[in-house]
Homo-oligomer: A and B are copies of this chain.
Amino acid sequence: MTVRFGLLGAGRIGKVHARAVDSNPEARLVAVADAFEQAAKDIATAYGAEVRSIDEIEAANDIDAVVICTPTDTHADLIERFSKAGKAIFCEKPIDLDVRRVEECLEVVEKTGAALMVGFNRRFDPHFMAVKKAIDDGAIGKVEMVTITSRDPGAPPVDYIKRSGGIFRDMTIHDFDMARFLLGEEPVSVSAHASVLVDKTIGEAGDYDSVSVILETASGRQALISNSRRATYGYDQRIEVHGSKGMVAAENQRPVSIEVANEKGYTRPPLHDFFMTRYTEAYANEIAAFIAALSKGQKAAPSGADGLAALKLADAALTSAREGRTVRL
C-alpha cells in the first residue's frame, strides 16, 4: 500500500517533509498547498505533485494523509478539519500554545478516530533512539535520573520570540517530551528557574533565554533540563540517562570529526550550527515512522496526548519560574 500525501505549508520544514515523503517507497506526495503559491509550486514540481488549495486537499479522494507545516495558530483548526475529513495527520509541534484549545482539538480527533502524530522529531534522532533502545534493552537497569542539555547556537529574532509562546513552550517543550519519553513515568512536580542572560530584548518581550528545570515523577525519578538561547560552539544537544545498573549518554554531533593539534592544544570543529542539519535524519525518520504506522494500522507516536502533556509541563515550568515555587501537576 502506498500512502498518498497532501502537504499543507511549503516553507522550510515543509520542504524537509516533502523530501522525506518522496524518498519513502511506501508513500507518494500528491498535492501541496500554501498561501504563497510559488512555494507550493516549487515543491510540487520537484516531486511530481500538484498544487491544490487546502479545501481541495480536504475534499480529495486520492489523499490519505496530510502533513501540517502551516503557522502554529492554524494547527488546531486544520487538525480538526482533516480529522473530520478522514485523513491521517502528521502535525508539526505544537498543536496550539493554549492547553484548552489543544484539549478541544484532541476531543475532535478522538471522536473522529483520526490518526494523529505530533512532530517531536528528536525522538527519531538515531543517537537518541539508540539511547532509548539501550534503556529498553535493560543496559542501565531501572531509570533513575535524566539530564538533558539543549542550547541553541543563537537566539531567534524577537519577533519570533513574541509569537513563540516563550522559551518553555517553544524550546524546552522538546526536552519535556524527551524527558517523558525517557523517564518512563509522568512528572508530577516541576521546579524551574529562568533568567535573561543572553539578550535584554528577549526579557523586554516578556520571555527568558536561560532556563533550568527539574522534573520529578511519583516514584522519585528526576530529570534535569538546561537550556540557553546561545551556544557559541554550536547546537548543543546532549542526553544522559542514569539507571540502577549504569548510564547511557548521547554525544554531541558535528559536521566533520577531525582534530587539529598545535601548541594551543587539540581542537575539534564546532558542532552543527542549525537544527535542520543536526536533525536531518530525525526528520526523515519521523515521517518514515508515521508512514510505517499507517501502513501497519498501528498507532503513531508521539500522539496528540504526548503533545498535550509536554505543553502542560511547559506551562507548569513557566508558572514555577515566574512565581518562584515548585508546581505540582
Contact = CB atoms under 8 A, between A and B. Distances in A.
Contacts of A192: 191, 214
A326 interface: yes
A228 B144 contact: yes
A215 to B, nearest CB: 8
Contacts of A130: 256, 258, 269
A139 interface: yes
A257 B224 CA distance: 21
Interface size class for chain A?
35 or more
B195 A221 contact: yes
B228 A242 contact: yes
Contacts of A247: 231-233, 236, 260-262
A259 interface: yes
A205 to B, nearest CB: 16
Given A191-B193, A214-B193, A265 B268 contact: yes
A49 to B, nearest CB: 15
The 6 closest A-B pairs by CB, nearest first: A195-B220, A246-B262, A233-B261, A191-B191, A130-B256, A247-B261
